[in-house]
């Protein structure tokens, strides 16, 4: 069964796997609308055995929606980083394994979103991981920095990602321990491989509460930054 949330993402069940796909050929910039749709889709995964997040088009996600931020009054800016903080809290507290199918470029906050999953598979022939903040002169928000500290434990790999702005292709991302596998073929092949990995994890039959608590303990810096922001309903998009 497939459903949509405001046309921003679809939800599909493939066996025991709950597949969420950000739709369209755009950059999947993380604004309050998309973040609310993703949170709703994650919340709907109850009863699934595992979750996969993927995207259509050239981009997995090109980070925060800076055009939205420029148009929004300053008092609403917190809705964007707060929405991502809450989505990461939802993912960490989820009682099933999570897999990112990085079907295209994942930059800045989009890169952090991909890395925040339990596993990540990346398209071998196209797509880069890129933390663009050093190049564009934007500071890290605290929870994005926590993603990088917890999920990129190698100091040199983390330095090159955040202080040199390396654009990391799939094979190099595997070598640096940023993703688990580089998948040959097109986006559909990455999604199929991610679903297969998620099915394998679902078949382990792990206790859901234990999965969530182990994840929080394994990435304590990230959980400390997001734990008070998830678990509730996704808020509606603030009006400009």
More confident residue, 30 or 238: 30
Q: What is the pLDDT of residues 29-64, one digit of tens each?
A: 999 999 999 999 999 998 899 999 999 999 999 999
Q: Are 43 and 90 in contact (CB under 8 A)?
A: yes
Q: Which two tokens stand for residue 181?
A: 């596998």
Q: Are 172 and 32 in contact (CB under 8 A)?
A: no
Class of residue 206 by CB neighbours under 10 A (exposed 0-12, middle 13-18, buried 19+): middle
Helix (H, G, I), strand (E, B) or coil at 26: coil
Q: What is the pLDDT of residues 184-229, one digit of tens each?
A: 999 999 999 999 999 999 999 999 999 999 999 999 999 999 999 9
What per-residue confidence (pLDDT) applies to 201?
Answer: 98
Reference 34, options 74, 86, 75, 70; nearest CA is 86
Q: How far apart are CA 81 and CA 101, in angstroms?
A: 22
Single pTM value for the model: 0.93
C-alpha dist (Å) from residue 111 to 40, 76, 107, 188, 202: 21, 23, 5, 20, 25
For the cut 90, the answer to whether the pLDDT of residue 74 exceeds it is no
Instruction: Label residues 95-119 b or e (16+ Cβ within 10 Å = b).
Output: bbbbbbbbbbbbbbbbbbbbbbbbb
Sequence-distant (6+) residues with CB within 8 A of 35 are 80, 83, 84, 86, 87, 234
Sequence-distant (6+) residues with CB within 8 A of 167 are 128, 129, 130
Q: What is the pLDDT of residues 114-154, one digit of tens each?
A: 999 999 999 999 999 999 999 999 999 999 999 999 999 99
User: Which DSSP letter does residue 232 get?
Assistant: S
């Amino acid at each position: 069964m497939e459903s949509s949330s405001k046309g921003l993402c679809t939800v599909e069940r493939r066996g025991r796997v709950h597949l969420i796909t950000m739709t369209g050929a755009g950059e999947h910039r993380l604004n309050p609308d998309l973040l609310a749709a993703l949170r709703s889709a994650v919340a709907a995964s109850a009863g699934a055995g595992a979750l996969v997040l993927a995207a259509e088009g050239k981009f997995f996600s090109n980070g925060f929606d800076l055009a939205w931020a420029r148009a929004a009054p300053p008092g609403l800016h917190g809705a964007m980083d707060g929405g991502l903080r809450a989505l990461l809290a939802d993912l960490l507290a989820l009682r099933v394994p999570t897999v990112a199918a990085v079907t295209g470029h994942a930059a800045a906050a989009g890169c952090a979103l991909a890395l925040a999953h339990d596993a990540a598979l990346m398209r071998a022939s196209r797509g880069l991981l890129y933390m663009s903040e050093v190049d564009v002169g934007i500071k890290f928000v605290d929870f994005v920095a926590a993603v990088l500290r917890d999920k990129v434990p190698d100091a040199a790999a983390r330095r090159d990602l955040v202080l040199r702005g390396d654009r990391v292709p799939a094979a190099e991302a595997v070598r640096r321990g940023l993703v688990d596998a580089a998948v040959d073929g097109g986006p559909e092949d990455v999604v199929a491989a991610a679903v297969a990995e998620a099915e394998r994890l679902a078949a382990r039959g792990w206790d859901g509460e234990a999965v969530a608590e182990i994840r929080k303990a394994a990435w304590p810096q990230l959980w400390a930054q997001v734990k008070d922001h998830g678990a509730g309903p996704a808020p509606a998009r603030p009006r400009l």
